[in-house]
Structures are given as structure tokens and as C-alpha cells.
A and B are shown apart, each in its own frame.
Chain A
Amino acid sequence: MTNIVEIAGLEKRYDERTYALRGIDLRIAEGEWLTILGPSGSGKSTLLNMLGCLDRPTAGSLQVCGVETSGMKQRELAVFRRENVGLVFQQQHVIPYLTALENVMLAQYYHSVADKDAASAALQHVGLGHRLHHVPGKLSGGEQQRVCIARALINQPKLLLADEPTGNLDRANACNVYDMLSKLHQEAGQTIVLVTHDESAAEYGDRTIRIEDGRVVESPHRACSVAS
């Protein structure tokens, strides 16, 4: 099995004193669902930013899909991100004046060309086939988050990154979103990295790591262990 992510000695510090990450070594296999747990301020989002090419590390190496991204320029990162990474955020980040369908098509537009059929199929896949033309204001939080998932997956990214995707949702909606992700993971073998506070969410994944103060402290389930 190939590794889609290989991280060695990854550091991120914002200034002299504030270290967000203090040397992370991590491998993520293709098709794996990795859950990252940790207290607030431990550096989970920072790590995910690195994986998603939204930010650059100050030291260490970072390979995503076999490409070293730590030295890339902003512009190259944007292109790489567009091609390889899908992002789902804690807030349901959707453009409020565009319909569900248009929000998904926006990602297609910036990637290549907008394809209405593909976009509506993606929404159908997340169970929103009947709400294509609703604006986000008329959708529930869980539904909005599913629009975000459909948008994140529309360009077939190799890596799906989710930062507390259920942080804003109630139990039922959260379960709904996790079920959705499980389905994608099992049916399509989607690689998922999930950051969460929610211990119970770890059950959906193959493997869980904990981060504290910018370091990986333990990796309890080594079930789906890494081979290089």
C-alpha cells in the first residue's frame, strides 16, 4: 500500500516563542481514514493546513501524493490544492447567495469547467438530490455541511481533509455527516483525515492519533498500520 502523506520532523512556528507544531512524523496510507484528536490549541488545525497546502511549514519535510510541497510557492500550492485536496471546514462555509448546486459548481469552475450534471449527481450522492436549488439559508446545518462535502469531493481529490466538520452540528446531524463520510470511505476508498474533539467520532476511522502541544503523543489503534 502506498502512502499518500509522508511527514518527517514537521515544524511550524509563528514567531520566536509560539510553536504550533514541534516535530511531527506521520504517514497516511492511501484509502486510510485517520482521526486526529487533541485539546484545543494543540496544533491540529495547523497540521491540517499543512496537509491541505494552505500553509507552509517552517521546517521538516512534507510529501503529499508523492510530491514535496514544503518548498512550493503560493501559486503552486494553490494549483496543487485544487488538484489533490478537498476541504471541509468546521463552519459550513458556503456562499450564502448561491444555491446548493451553484456552490458545488463553483468548485468545478475554479478547477476546470462547471458541469451541472456532475454537480447534481454529487449532491444526490450526499442525499441532497431534492434540494439542489435551495440557498444555504434554507438548508439545515447538516445539509449545508453535506453540500460542503459534495463540493470537496466534486473534483475527485486524492485526499479529503475535514476540520471538525461536525463542530457546529447537533448529534443527529453529526451522525448523518459521519455516516456520509463512512459510505464514501467504504464505497470509494476515499482517503480521509478528520480532525475532531469528539472521541466517539474516532470510531468511524481506521486509526487515531493524538496531538498535544504540537507533538504526536500516542497512536492507539495501529490496526491499519503503515507500510512503506
Chain B
Amino acid sequence: MLSLSVGVRANLSTEIRRFGANIVLYPQADDGLLDDSVGPRVEKGALGSRIYASAPFLHQPAVVSGKPFDLVGTDFADALKVSPYWRVTGSAPTKGQVAVGADVAAALKLEPGSSIDVRIAKPTSSGKGSGACRSCHGSLGAEHDRRTSGRLAQVGSNCLSCHQAHPIATSTGYVATVSAIVSTGGDEDGWVIAPLTDVQSLSKSGNRISYLRVSALTDSEPAEKTAARLSGLIDGVRPEVVGSVASAEDNLLGKVQLLLALLTACVAGMSALGLFSMLGASVLERTGEIGLVKAIGASNGSVSRQIVAEAAVLAVAGAALGLLAGAGIVRLIGNSVFGASMSLTIGAVPVAVASCLLLAISASLAAARRAARIDPAICLRGE
């Protein structure tokens, strides 16, 4: 039971990774880009075992079949790992293919197999931002800022300077086939998702990425701590914890663990009650015997010692059996509930044995007090 409540946190933590990334690594410089080697360094580095998955993302404001959307390059398989909640109809995009978000698909009436025209929005002369308004030639900076576009793909709704609807100057482009439609209920619905290398070569970004989404396990330390350690480990990155996911996660884990701990306490309480009544009954049953040994000279102390010793032997045997059964049950639960192998937590063993002994001894002390009240004179009276 105890082992279960410890192990459940590790298993649930993996399970919870379905909610998505809890850390995002941004470049330290506000307008910079990251090298795409950051991903492997995170996953294979010193913290590798704490990382469940990571996925690179490169954002490029783009015009798709005449309308402005975010073109996002990523490794589709990794992206699905850090965002398991993405619902994908169709197959992962390969070179020359794209997956489109649900909003994009709706706006352009796309379905898997459709063809679209993808063009990168032209950088402005100021260099800030990544697109220019065709009406006022002003920068589309804020809305197209790398940071916001990472989360809100509000590409080119209105020009920030003149509040005119785009059009946006575009440069090179290509015709891509829609391989899948991605529906997330979030920002990604407005994305056009292409393989990372496609976007990198189209935008001439070399091997750069905008940010890395990381899904870290939080069973042994909160995401904040992992994030802090990541920043020390890899130069030039600025980790940000995705607040809502990380804290909700920790909250949930804490609650589940508390629940299991309470359950454990309940079970322990019930077994204590059982033990109390069992030992009490055994004293009652042996009233004659106890009266007899008292009549032939046993002191209350020696009778009590014997009862406590018997209970202790019982408790040790019970704890051993319990551990064996517990190991089996934990494995069974691990398999059936989490589909993962789960084993007895070693740390739980001494705690379980000690509490077992403690319970048995306190229960037997109560029984011993009862035995002390037995009148040796009952032997002289008949039964």
C-alpha cells in the first residue's frame, strides 16, 4: 500500500505528460534563434532521464493560399510526444507536405490531399518582426514577434500601424500537399505545420529553431527545478515553465498521493482494529489458562511479556507475508492500471515492517492489560 502510494506518483507523472509540455526553452536573446542541436543535448544530457520528450519549433509568418497564417516547422513525431493531445486526421507530413490546423483547414476548405500555396512573409527593411504591411509598409512586429507567435499564431489579422487588413509582402514559396489536419483546441489550430527542414530551407534559417518544447517528468522534482537546471546545463537558453500545466500537474500528483496515503492510513487503522479484537479475543479465550499460570505464580509482568512477544512474532510473520503479497499486488496494479512495470519501493519496506510491529505491540499492550485483570481465583471456582 505504502509502496503503491509512492510508486503511483512516478507512474502518474508519466501519464500526465499527455497534458503537454511543461517547459519551453527560448533563446536568451530576445530576437535570436536557437540551434536545433539543443533538442538532442537536452534529451541526451545529464538530465536525460528526467526528460520525457522534446520537440523543436521554428515559426515563420507566412501567407498560405492568400491568407496569413503561421508556418511552423517541427519534427512531427516529437511534437506529438510533447503534445499527445493533438488529434490528427491523416498522416504525418513528410518533405513537401504539411499538416494544417483545424482553423486553417476551415478557412481554406482543406482536407487531406488538397494542395496549398505556401509563401514566407517578407521581412521588413527595419529587420524587426518578420513581415511588412502592404498598405503602410509598417512593421508587423509585435504580432509577429517570435515570442508571441510561439503561442498565438495571430498572423497578420490587422496591420498594427494602419489597422488595415494585410496583404503582406511575400517572398519565396512552394506548393505543398495537405497530409493531415490537426485539431488541438489551442493555438496550433491556426498553424500550418511542415517538416522542420522544409521551413528551415524555405526561410533560409539554416539549422535554427524558435524554441524547444520540453516535457519533463515531475515525480521527483517540480518542473521549475528541472527548468533551472536546464538553463545551467545549456548555454544561451532561457527556460520558461508552462505555469498552468506544471502547477496543475504538481497539484494533481499531490492530491492523488494524499488520497492514497489516507487510504493507506485507513487500511492500517482497520487492521489495527482487527488486531485489537483478535488479541483481545485470544486473551478472553485463554482466560482459564492465564488464570492458572497466575495461580501457580506467574506475575502480571511475565504474562504481559508473553502476550506482547506472541503478537510481535505474529506481526513479523504478517509483515513478511504482507510484503510478498504487496509486491505481487503492486506489480499487478502497475500492469493493469498504468500498463507499466511497477515494483515494491525499497524504502517502503522498513516503514511498513516498523509500523506493523508498532501496531501489533500497541494492540498487544491493550490485550496484556486485559490479561492483567484476570483473577487467578477463577481456577478455584468451577467453569
- Chain A residues with a Cβ under 8 A of chain B: 45, 48-49, 52, 54-55, 74-75, 78-79, 81-82, 87, 89-91, 93, 95, 106-107, 110-111, 151-152, 155, 163
Please tell me if the beta carbons of B294 and A45 are within 8 angstroms of each other in the complex. Answer: no
Contact residue among B289, B292, B380 (Cβ-Cβ distance under 8 Å from A45): B380
- Shortest CB–CB separation between residue A164 and chain B, in angstroms? 9
Chain A residues within an 8 Å CB radius of B297: 78, 81-82, 107, 110-111, 155
Chain B residues within an 8 Å CB radius of A54: 295, 375-377, 380
- Chain B residues with a Cβ under 8 A of chain A: 288-289, 292-300, 302, 375-377, 379-383
Please tell me if the beta carbons of B382 and A87 are within 8 angstroms of each other in the complex. Answer: no
Chain B residues within an 8 Å CB radius of A75: 299-300
What are 26 A-B pairs at a CB distance below 8 A? A45-B381, A48-B380, A49-B377, A52-B295, A54-B376, A75-B299, A75-B300, A78-B297, A79-B299, A81-B295, A87-B295, A87-B296, A87-B379, A89-B295, A89-B379, A90-B380, A91-B382, A95-B293, A106-B293, A107-B296, A110-B297, A110-B299, A151-B296, A152-B296, A155-B297, A163-B380
Closest chain A residue to B381 by CB distance?
A45
Chain B residues within an 8 Å CB radius of A91: 379, 382-383
Please tell me if the beta carbons of B302 and A49 are within 8 angstroms of each other in the complex. Answer: no
Interface of B is mostly: helix
Interface of A is mostly: helix
A78 to B377, CA, bound (A): 12
Chain B residues within an 8 Å CB radius of A93: 288, 292, 295, 379
A52 to B377, CA, bound (A): 9
- Shortest CB–CB separation between residue B175 and chain A, in angstroms? 94
Nearest first, the 3 closest Cβ-Cβ pairs linking A and B are A82-B297, A110-B297, A54-B377
Closest chain A residue to B294 by CB distance?
A78
A49 to B298, CA, bound (A): 17
Chain B residues within an 8 Å CB radius of A163: 380
- Shortest CB–CB separation between residue B247 and chain A, in angstroms? 62
Chain B residues within an 8 Å CB radius of A110: 293, 296-299, 302
Contact residue among A74, A79, A89, A95 (Cβ-Cβ distance under 8 Å from B380): A89
- Shortest CB–CB separation between residue A119 and chain B, in angstroms? 13
Closest chain A residue to B303 by CB distance?
A110
Closest chain A residue to B292 by CB distance?
A93
- Shortest CB–CB separation between residue A96 and chain B, in angstroms? 9
- Shortest CB–CB separation between residue A68 and chain B, in angstroms? 20
- Shortest CB–CB separation between residue B312 and chain A, in angstroms? 20
Which residue, B293, B294, B297, B381, has most C-beta atoms of chain A within 10 A? B297
A163 to B380, CA, bound (A): 7
A95 to B376, CA, bound (A): 15
A90 to B295, CA, bound (A): 14
A49 to B377, CA, bound (A): 7
A107 to B295, CA, bound (A): 10
Chain B residues within an 8 Å CB radius of A87: 295-296, 379-380
- Beyond the given pairs A110-B296, A110-B297, 9 more chain A to chain B contacts, judged by CB atoms under 8 angstroms and listed by A's residue number, are A45-B380, A49-B377, A75-B300, A78-B294, A87-B379, A89-B380, A95-B289, A106-B296, A152-B296
- Shortest CB–CB separation between residue B378 and chain A, in angstroms? 9
Closest chain B residue to A167 by CB distance?
B382
A90 to B302, CA, bound (A): 25
A155 to B288, CA, bound (A): 22
